[in-house]
Structure 1
Amino acid sequence: MTSATSRRRPDEDAEVIVVGAGPAGSTAATYLARAGLDVLLLEKSVFPREKVCGDGITPRGVKQLIDLGIDTREEAGWLHNRGLRVVGGGVRMELDWPSLADFPPYGVVRPRNDFDDLLARNAQRAGARLLQQTTVTGAVTDERTGRITGVEAKTGPERVPVTYRAPLVLACDGVSARLALSVGIEKRDDRPMGVAVRRYYTSPRTKDDFLESHLELWDRSNRDGPKLLPGYGWIFGMGDGTVNVGLGILSTSKAYGKTDYRQLMRSWLDGTPEEWGFREENATGRIGGAALPMGFNRMPHYRNGLLLVGDAGGMVNPFNGEGIAYAMESAALAAECVVHALARPTGFSREQALRRYPTAVQQALGGYFRMGNIFSKLIGNPAVMRMATKHGLPRATLMRFVLKLLANLYDEKGGDAMDRVISTTTRLTPSA
């Protein structure tokens, strides 16, 4: 029932529809509901649900959790880490997260089935109406203006067709981007994509103060001697007796799309020390895979009442494959623009507020993602990657700079010389 203060019309089901209750959708729904808006949050799965991810969150993502009001203390179920361990070129280096004014000095690990559930319940507590087992199949638009008026979906176990109506829709439906595709917003082929596979293993390495990144993947089970495999790997201790182990490959690599990623992972892990436990008999589930849409590979981020948020807008970091932090950041920006838009009369003034969203996203991330797109092309060449690993890893000062750059962790104002270099370069890099 429409409340007395709602701007919802009698023929509308909500003031705002948010499609997808992952980190982007739940974050946006929380901020919108807290602002007093009538929010309908549609999720195709049922919580808790599995999601392919590394489960590691850098300090950039932790900041978003804190901004959202989430308790990130270890007592609240978060496993903290102090930095990144980089392995490659015969070097093993531990790098603490940088000490900054803008970001906390720790990262966290939490399984996505629990993490996403927590964020969705947080949105519900804020006042958002969550409908699970509701798969959105496309947008409903006004035939005359092309403006979005709602979404078509199939709901419940019987997948009953239903239409939900609202004047604004946030597409937080991930890499599938069904909503964007339904209104003709296509993927950009000049932007990188990634693919990641991961699996959980029972392992004595379950508790670790560092996230571990392997810049070289070696198949040591090869009879003809060690063989260098394409991609990079990770080992993230979960603190519960298990470890999240995975690998990623960029579309800029010649191996992309031509590789059996699951077999690639087995080959790498068969060459790791047996005492780590990364063997078939210690696996606690199947190998899962997912695509990573990077560097704004789907644009425009706003059109005719539809806002693309997080993975739906290609907002995965091309430097390191991180998506959660940017999903939540873009969700906060989208929510702010929607709140201001709905506080204005319909028409030009409201549209001005909505068009601020793609500009805000470009200002926040455009230059950095542009640099990341260039970086992804460079490291797609195995020779470049080997040279960087061989000559870069042994240099601690250089690696501290690289960590700040790759994880997007620096103070925009003030900070040290490294921060000023990254901030200036990001600001001057064209975002197109």
Structure 2
Amino acid sequence: MSNAKPDGAAPADTPTESDVIVVGAGPGGSTTAAYLARHGLSVTLLEKSHFPREKVCGDGLTPRATRALTRLGIDTSEENGWLHNKGLRVYGGRTEPFELPWPELTDFPPYGLVRPRSDFDDILARHAVAQGATLIEGANVDGAVLDDRTGRITGVSTKDGRTFSAPYVVAADGNSSRLSVSMGLNKRDDRPMGVAVRTYYTSPRTHDDYLESWLELWDGKPHESTLMPGYGWIFGMGDGTSNVGLGVLNTSKSFGKTDYRELLKRWLDNTPEEWGFRDQNMVGKVQGAALPMAFNRQPHYGRGLVLVGDAGGMVNPFNGEGIAYAMESAELAAAALAEALSRGAGTSSAEKAMQAYPQQLKSSLGGYYRLGTIFVQLIGDPRIMHLCTKYGLPRKTLMRFVLKLLANLTDAHGGDAMDRIINALCKAAPSA
């Protein structure tokens, strides 16, 4: 059990040895640490910054993320400060938007959530501490400590000269994952990558029962400019502000050459004045982040190192969602680690147990991510994008199907015809 203080700060006598080190206290890292502690293991959770801290994100969560929070034991009630939403409002293909309620399913709750990341990440980190993990803030990991003989990771070092040891280390340090890179695990170029930028505006649209997605993202006046392969979003925060942003995929020829902050401004200049999305109402700066998709860093386990969330490229190519998959991968990783440690760290039997983790990821998400990779390649062609928006977006039944596909919300067993089609496609596709 942890000897961390109630506020999550590690005391002076913090042990430098544990069963598992988790690097990064974002949603993936804190969830991994919480599940590991729940399994009765000693866990050291290292976070380079101090809570509360801001992260670039849309702050909107689908029912998939809601389920992950519930499984972790987080109270997502409105009384506990969570904003609930009923579904997705989609702009595209016609003047008026579609309002698509989240599907009624056995496997997922019928509501999504909104919560700022500064608060969200803090909640998950404190939850990990409450479960028994030791959280050390201000621990900026700069590399792996390796066994000279085997090349296996035995711990990590921090920029201020500290060393922490454990037989297994979880890299939950985000897209750049310096820990993974220090062990020679670089990103794959054959996987899609996105860039997202967002900011906040004071706006009368702050109270909204729906997450709002703009599937037609023009770089100027609608229908008179270039249609970009990406999407825009407007999420009411319920506090007088709206989180507004856009994501663009690297399948566009203009990827990397576009000023995304300027693109955000040009898009918003074409929204109604009364919504308030103008410079004088902006709160804070426009900030950006990379979206690593479709398992763009692999293997997810090797030589004692486990990759979770963005470090393992687990962002959904269809909709840019990362939190749900970070938390799901965390639960799977923790179960594999608990089993491996029960067999004796580093033994052949323990290594066999650890292989369950990458196998489960590929089984549950590999086919779906492969479909997502094909999808982003297709919409990277402006001609195909134009056909989709002209003939596909205005059809409500088709849009219900698209909602289930893009948000990855289907029942695994039974379900309706749409669920069965999507599940069959995912099974037929080779794993990403």
Q: Shorter-chain TM-score category?
A: over 0.9
Cα distance in 1, alignment partners of residues 132 and 404 from structure 2: 37
Aligned position for 1:174: 174
Alpha-carbon RMSD: 1.6
The residue matched to 2:162 in structure 1 has which SS?
strand
Offset, 1:229: 4.8
* Aligned with 1:97 (options 98, 102, 105): 102
8 A Cα contact 2:199 2:244, kept in partner: yes
8 A Cα contact 2:2 2:129, kept in partner: no
Offset, 1:2: 10
Change (3 A) 1:83 1:66: same
The residue matched to 1:201 in structure 2 has which SS?
strand
Offset, 1:383: 1.7
Cα distance in 2, alignment partners of residues 217 and 420 from structure 1: 30
8 A Cα contact 1:192 1:294, kept in partner: yes
8 A Cα contact 1:197 1:247, kept in partner: yes
Cα distance in 2, alignment partners of residues 32 and 320 from structure 1: 29
| Post-superposition CA distance 1:26-63 (Å, at most 9, x none) | 00000001111110000011111010000000000000
| 1:382 and 2:382 matched | yes
Cα distance in 2, alignment partners of residues 299 and 217 from structure 1: 31
8 A Cα contact 1:200 1:242, kept in partner: yes
| 1:299 and 2:298 matched | yes
Matches within 5 A, 1:270-419: 270-346=269-345, 347-419=347-419
* Aligned with 2:111 (options 87, 106, 110): 106
| 1:263 and 2:262 matched | yes
Change (3 A) 1:2 1:315: closer
TM-score, structure 1 as length reference? 0.94
Cα distance in 2, alignment partners of residues 353 and 147 from structure 1: 17
Aligned position for 2:252: 253
Letter in 2 for 1:186: N
Cα distance in 1, alignment partners of residues 417 and 355 from structure 2: 35
* Aligned with 2:144 (options 134, 139, 142): 139
Cα distance in 2, alignment partners of residues 404 and 268 from structure 1: 26
Aligned residues: 418
8 A Cα contact 2:37 2:128, kept in partner: yes
Offset, 1:125: 0.4
Cα distance in 2, alignment partners of residues 221 and 305 from structure 1: 52
Aligned position for 1:31: 35
Letter in 2 for 1:421: I
The residue matched to 2:161 in structure 1 has which SS?
strand
Cα distance in 1, alignment partners of residues 428 and 373 from structure 2: 15
Aligned position for 2:243: 244
Change (3 A) 1:47 1:248: same
The residue matched to 2:254 in structure 1 has which SS?
coil
Task: Give 4+ residue runs of structure 1 displaced > 6 Å after superposition.
Answer: none
Cα distance in 2, alignment partners of residues 2 and 258 from structure 1: 48
Cα distance in 2, alignment partners of residues 400 and 335 from structure 1: 34
Aligned position for 1:51: 55
Letter in 1 for 2:67: K
Aligned position for 1:228: 226
Aligned position for 2:157: 152
8 A Cα contact 2:94 2:394, kept in partner: no
Matches within 5 A, 1:71-220: 71-91=75-95, 92-154=97-159, 160-218=160-218
Offset, 1:227: 2.4
Cα distance in 2, alignment partners of residues 250 and 69 from structure 1: 34
| Post-superposition CA distance 1:68-117 (Å, at most 9, x none) | 01011111111111111110122411100000000000000000000000
Cα distance in 1, alignment partners of residues 344 and 405 from structure 2: 42
TM-score, structure 2 as length reference? 0.94
* Range moving further from structure 2, 194-203 or 381-390: 381-390
8 A Cα contact 1:35 1:339, kept in partner: yes
Letter in 1 for 2:237: M
* Aligned with 1:20 (options 12, 24, 46): 24
Letter in 2 for 1:124: V
Offset, 1:251: 0.7
8 A Cα contact 1:219 1:270, kept in partner: no
The residue matched to 1:187 in structure 2 has which SS?
coil
Offset, 1:221: 6.6
Aligned position for 2:12: none
The residue matched to 2:194 in structure 1 has which SS?
strand
Letter in 1 for 2:302: R
Cα distance in 2, alignment partners of residues 175 and 134 from structure 1: 18
Letter in 1 for 2:129: Q
Query: Unpaired segments of 5 or more residues in structure 2?
Result: 4-14
Letter in 2 for 1:212: E
Query: Unpaired segments of 5 or more residues in structure 1?
Result: 4-10, 155-159
* Range moving further from structure 2, 51-60 or 85-94: 85-94
Cα distance in 2, alignment partners of residues 216 and 407 from structure 1: 17
The residue matched to 1:98 in structure 2 has which SS?
coil
Letter in 2 for 1:279: R
